[in-house]
Amino acid sequence: MLKNGGFVRKKRKLALYGAVEVGKAPLVITTGSIACMLCYKILFYTVPERVVTLEAAPPKMGGFSSFA
């Protein structure tokens, strides 16, 4: 499902997590490259980057303050 972009066609999100230095980033980059070759747009970010984005987002946009 990763190598043929099946998860993209099914509109599923991909999130990888695990220990440091086990190969998550290369797997995500390769999967994203395949999605790009299939003419899909991709978004790649780390958890800390996403947390900063959510902290800055207004509540109506899904920011953390909407959970308070």
Q: What is the pLDDT of residues 5-61, one digit of tens each?
A: 777 788 787 778 889 889 888 888 888 888 888 888 888 888 888 888 877 777 665
Could you give the number of structural domains in the chain? 1
What's the pLDDT at 68? 47
**Residue span of the structural domain in which 38 resides:** 6-67
Q: Is residue 20 part of a domain?
A: yes
Using the predicted structure, report yes or no on whether residue 67 has a pLDDT greater than 70.
no
Whether the full predicted model's pTM is greater than 0.85, yes or no, is: no
Using the predicted structure, report yes or no on whether residue 64 has a pLDDT greater than 60.
no
Q: Is residue 17 part of a domain?
A: yes
Alpha-carbon distance 55 to 68, whole Å? 12
Q: Is residue 1 part of a domain?
A: no
Alpha-carbon distance 51 to 57, whole Å? 10
